[in-house]
Amino acid sequence: MNALTPIDFDGAVNIEAEQALLGAILVNNEALAPVLEVGFEARFFEEAIHRDIFTAASSLITSGRKADPVTLRPFLPVDAEIGDTNLGGYLMRLCAEAVTVLHARDYALAVLDAYAARVAAQTLDRYIEEFVRRDPAKGITDIISRLEDDLGGIRALSPAMKARESMSGVMDAFLRRLNEGRTKGGRVIPFPLGEIADVLQEDGFQVGNLYGLLGSSGEGKTSLMLQCVRAAADAGNPVLLLSYDQTFEQVARQMISQQTGISVSQMLRHNPGKSETLNRKEIDLITEAGVDLQELPIQVRKLHNQKIGGILSIARNWTKTIRKGRQPNGEPWGSPLIILDHNRKVTPEDPKAHEGRIAGAVNGAGKAMAEELGAAVLFLNQRNGKGADRYVPRPIAADLFGGEQAREDYDAILYIYRPERWRDEQLSVAKDQKQADEIRRRFMLRSSWEDTPRDPEGMAEIGAIKVRYGAGGVRSELKFEGRYTRYASTRQTEPELF
């Protein structure tokens, strides 16, 4: 409590919901599954004994054992007293007073809601003191920024709770969209290349979905991501790029290079009158491309040490702004595309937590963001290095930030793989010609070991680690034009990039 106005936080506690939740789980252990699905954790309980009971029960149930008053007792403090009864009596009372196991998820959400309210109240109480007795060396905006970050983290705790829908209502909406066309209203954001649609088995980024793009450093994740940015913006879909690595100027240069076929190196080295790496025609092309870029609904926000809650706040405020705007033709903007580059760099709530847990918190918030904001969300994933020791380092789920379990919150995950990049890296340390020849054979481009091997120079493979609908394991090939840091379809003589 702050020294100015003491606050009583007792109102932000729901003991009845805590007891009802535990009773439901002990009466029917299957009630735990829907509780865990909403991301429920033991720390959400206010009562310490409730945290102990939930932790022990969850451990037993998830390991395939039964959790009831008898099996739980060895894992709980034997001398615990709760009110006028001992631990054994309290466990029996929880079971006896359990009303229904059908509402276990609702009880969990009620407990979570009380926890969020409690943490929010305590957070605001702490910041009152900071605002009133602020450090003269720090501006007030610094305090506001940290407050937004903390409140965003609290908001990310609660899953978006939709009203219960009837089957008839769902089917009416589905059939209406089917007859009107899938892209009506801008709910599908186009891909820049048809091969992506083939691999993910979707026509574009779907609103409400979380997508992943996995690749190693130097394989062109950023290049492909910027082509996604351009395709979306050209179609009237606003794009927010949240990047830890790139400024708006760097993004603009690369997008102009992709559009004009003039390398970024030429632009950077051009010095009129001294080192002229650009001719007049190329300068005019760059100028025209820059003017075109200014008209597109693209915003780049440089990130530093934000937590996922702060990132959600940025995205939420941006979405509110673009919802109020209109296209030059007076039509509303299409659905937004929000991109995070990349998820491994998000400052974790608990830096000591297991990587899988950190990734789960970030990805879960990304999925919630897509649903809440009516956006498609794309998270870039930097490979974790585990694939470097595989005979063929094609990306697999274990290479994701957080490992294989990190797939859960994604609706689809695309990977990019350039054998040429891996081949050249290993050739640079080959001990002799025999090893060099073996490396070249290993990194030939092929769909399977039965396929005719081809030179991987200037080529890339894309595939899916996860798709929402359709068969897995679909792969396709793209041309990689490294000088202009762009990918092009193999289906056309002249690349149609945007």
> What pLDDT score does 183 carry?
45
- Number of helices and strands in the chain (H, E): 17, 13
- The residue type at 231: A
Domains 10-133 and 186-418+458-489 share a fold: no
Name the one residue in this structure whose structure tokens are 């847990």: 357
Instruction: Name the residue ranges covered by the structural domains of the chain.
Output: 10-133, 186-418+458-489
Integer Cα distance of 227 and 234 in angstroms = 11
Integer Cα distance of 230 and 209 in angstroms = 19
Q: What is the CATH number of domain 186-418+458-489?
A: 3.40.50.300
Kindly give the confidence (pLDDT) of every residue in the chain, 498 residues in length, as a single tens digit, with 9 standing for 90 and above.
444 444 555 557 889 999 999 999 999 998 898 888 778 889 999 999 999 999 999 999 988 899 999 999 888 887 777 777 888 888 998 988 876 767 888 899 899 988 888 888 888 888 888 888 877 777 787 787 778 777 777 777 655 444 444 555 555 655 665 555 544 445 789 999 999 999 999 989 999 999 999 998 888 899 999 999 999 999 999 999 999 988 899 999 999 999 999 999 999 998 887 888 889 999 999 999 999 999 999 999 999 888 888 888 889 889 989 888 888 888 889 999 999 998 889 988 888 888 888 888 889 889 988 988 899 999 999 887 777 778 888 888 888 988 888 888 899 999 999 999 989 888 999 999 999 999 899 888 877 677 788 888 889 999 999 998 777 778 999 999 988 889 999 876 544 554
At a CB cut-off of 8 Å and minimum separation 6, what does 117 contact?
12
Name the region of 157 (left: φ>0; alpha: ψ -120 to 50; beta: rest).
alpha
> Among 1.20.1090.10, 3.40.605.10, 1.10.860.10, 2.30.30.140, what is the CATH number of 10-133?
1.10.860.10
Residue 204 near residue 187 (C-beta atoms within 8 A) = no
- For residue 38, what are its two tokens? 């909403």
> What pLDDT score does 159 carry?
52
User: What are the start-end ranges of the H helices in 73-103?
Assistant: 87-96
* Residue of 478, 425, 421, 400 whose CA lies nearest to 224: 478
- According to DSSP, the β-strands at 475-481 and 459-466 are antiparallel
pTM: 0.70
- For residue 337, what are its two tokens? 């595309």
Q: What is the pLDDT of residues 177-234, one digit of tens each?
A: 555 554 444 578 999 999 999 999 998 999 999 999 999 888 889 999 999 999 999 9
